[in-house]
Structure formats: C-alpha cells, structure tokens
Amino acid sequence: MQPASLALAQQLLGFDTINPPGNEAACMAFFAAWLSEQGFEVQLSSFGEGRSNLVAQMRGSAPGKPLAFTGHLDTVPLGNQPWQHDPFGSEVADDRLYGRGSSDMKAAIAAFALACIEQQQAILAGRGVVMLITGGEETGCDGAQALIAAGRLPEIGALIVGEPTANYPVIGHKGALWLRCETRGKTAHGAMPELGINAIYLAADALGKIRHFSPGAPHPLMKQPTLNVGRIQGGLNINSVPDRTAFDVDIRSAPNLQHATIRQQLGELLGEEVHVTTLVDLPAVLSSGENRWIQSVYHHCQAFFEQPLEARVVPYFTDASLLLPALGHPPCIILGPGEPTMAHQTDEYCLVSKLGEAEQLYGQIIAEWMKV
C-alpha cells in the first residue's frame, strides 16, 4: 500500500524549481492552495521575481507554542550527466520515487503536510502546527533570510527540518562560511608581461598558503572543520596579463568556532594582496540530545532501527542556521525520508517506503506534542 503523501510528493516534483534561478512561485502557489483546502491559514510572500516563501498555520485551541516544520522547494541543477528517469516525471519504480528534489527535499514536505492532515483533530485540540516553506535555500538560505527580514515568523516551541536523513534523527549540522578571495594586478600585453602584474600568479601564491590552512580545532561531535576551494576565475584572453583573479572558499565549521575569527586569521595569512569578502555566513546548529522533546523523537524513530540511536550531525547546512536564532533557539531535530547520498545526484530518488515511515513518524511526533 502506497503512503498517502506519495501523490502530493509527485505533484511537487512535477514543478521545475531548479536554483538558479529558483522560480519556486508556481510550486509554492500550488502548495499554498492545497494547504488552504485542507484547513491551513496560508501566507505567501515574495522575495524576487518568481521567488516566494510560504507560512502555513493550523491553530490549536490549547495554550502553548505550536510545533513547526520547515523545508525548501528549490532544488539544485540537474548536472551534466544524462538522467535515465525524467527529473520532473515523478516516476515510481522498485520502491524509488525519482525526480530532482525527491530526497532533497520535496518528499519530506509532502510527508509532514499529510501527517498534519491525518492528525488534524489532535492539532485543533492541541497547540497547533506551523509550516515554514522556503525558496532559495540551496544558494545560501536566501528565502529564510527574506522571511526573517519581513518579520513573518510566528512563535514556535520546537522545529523539525525535513532534510534527508533516511529517517535517522539528527541534532545538528556544520556551519558554512563562503568567502571570495580576489587578487588584483595590472594588465599588459601578453608579449610584454614584465609591464604588468599577473593576478593569476598572485592567486596561485595565495592558494599555496590556503591549502594547508586549518579553520580551527575539531569538535567532539562534528569532528574536523573543512576547507575547500570550489571555484576560480581569472583572465579575459590568452594574450593579456590578467589584472583580476577570484577564487571561492567553502569552510564548514562547528559551534566551537567563530566565523569572524576564521575570516580574520585567513585574511592575515593571505596578506594585503588578497581582498576577502563574505558570500555566505551560516552558523552551525546543535541541539541538546538531553532535551526532553528530542528524546521523545528518538523514541519514535528507534522503532525503525535495530541498533540504539546515537547523537549524530550532518555536514550540510539547512535553513535552521538562520531560523533558529530568529525563533529564539527552540529545540531542533533534522529528520527526513530522503537518502542523504542521493542529494544533488543524477537520477535522484527517495524510497517510497521511507516516505511512508516519515509520514508515520511525523504523525506520532505531532500527536505527542499536542498532548503535552
């Protein structure tokens, strides 16, 4: 028997929300209309042409703060490898729901939406639920930033992030600090390089220094912070001395490290010849595994795993980096049906069986929250 959330997941996957450019508005409008028909109060907000966020609420009658879910509808590009399954066809084969965004993370959004519908009576009699559905997450949480800036966040008591964990409860993730390092030289004719200053050579010197730079000490749970140079651009034509080169640095950090300190130390290492600017600054997320609510989530998830659950984190970032400080740092769990190894992959899929498990788990977590 297929989970009730499968049909909604397939509908969401039918929308092309590749970011860039994002263009989540049509998918977001469809989902808002669907939720409205199910009894949610919905509020759409734009943060650019074709870009939008959604806040949906089902209010309860009991005192206390609602339970919140968050997820993003934008996806990464398809990549250069050919797909064997239509990335927007929502095909199901051998327990796999194929499509760009199936694991990351439209299936999770469908699962927690259906779980809310199935638990509607408990929600109405309890403390209510909130959904924070964003665009622009894949390029640095642009939608969440716009949602916060617009002042559209209601009070919540706990947050579930539906990113792909194969339904294993995760209590945190690394932070992300993306920096652009730029060298500036002097252009000249390629036949007379002595008249110029080669910005590529300056960048090469800087890259030699940065290759062995450590962002800081390891964290007990998140282990060693990482640094990767992911992109470099320099020069306009072969027969000129390049006067500008830029390379982008991706640093993944932990709660024991301050991004301002990392940037300062890197700037001092590279020296005045390298101009450093911040592209993305997202702090690490880590909730206490001893929190009563998180322990209850562990209890519900344990039924799907043979070995005792342990505290885990993931290396990727989520909208929780920005949402949690804006919401007053409620307890947060990352929990979704998607396969972590399938995120951003060709022929991305989510297991239909995991989708059904997530729908069940979310329903149990909702029901328990409404009883407290």
Residues annotated catalytic, as ranges: 74, 137
Q: In b/e form, how buried is each residue of 130-162, taking b as 16+ CB within 10 angstroms?
A: bbbbbbbbbbbbbbbbbbbeeeebeebbbbbbb
The CA radius of gyration of the chain, in Å to the nearest whole number, is 23
Dist CA 100 CA 228 (whole Å): 25
Dist CA 128 CA 145 (whole Å): 24
Kindly report each contact of residues 79-84 with a partner whose C-beta sits within 8 Å and lies 24 or more positions away, as own/partner.
Answer: 79/344, 79/345, 79/346, 81/346, 82/346, 83/346, 83/347, 84/347
Cβ–Cβ < 8 Å for 216, 266: no
- DSSP code string of 157-182: SEEEE---STT--B-EE-EEEEEEEE
Six-digit token string for 143: 């939608």
Q: Which residues pair with 240 in a beta bridge?
A: 189
Dist CA 143 CA 133 (whole Å): 9
DSSP 8-class letter at 15? S
Six-digit token string for 309: 């659950």
Is residue 51 classed as helix, strand or coil in its secondary structure? strand
DSSP E strand boundaries for 63-107: 67-72, 92-93, 96-98
DSSP E strand boundaries for the chain: 41-48, 51-58, 67-72, 92-93, 96-98, 129-134, 158-161, 172-173, 175-184, 226-234, 244-253, 274-282, 285-286, 313-314, 332-334, 349-351
Residue 351: CB partners within 8 Å, gap ≥ 6? 95, 96, 97, 337, 339
